[in-house]
Amino acid sequence: MTLVTFKPTLIRGKRRESLDFMSVSIYAWGMKRSGGKSRMGRPPFPAGKAKSRRVFFRAEPALYEKLAVAAERQGKPVATWIHDMLEVLLEGE
- Is the pLDDT at 73 greater than 70, yes or no? yes
pLDDT attached to residue 42: 83
Mean pLDDT, residues 35-39 taken together: 69
Instruction: Give this prediction's pTM.
Output: 0.47
Better-scored residue on pLDDT, 27 or 61: 61
* 87 confidence band (pLDDT: 50, 70, 90): very high
pLDDT for 68 = 96
Q: Which of 14, 17, 75, 16 has the alpha carbon at shortest distance from 6?
A: 17
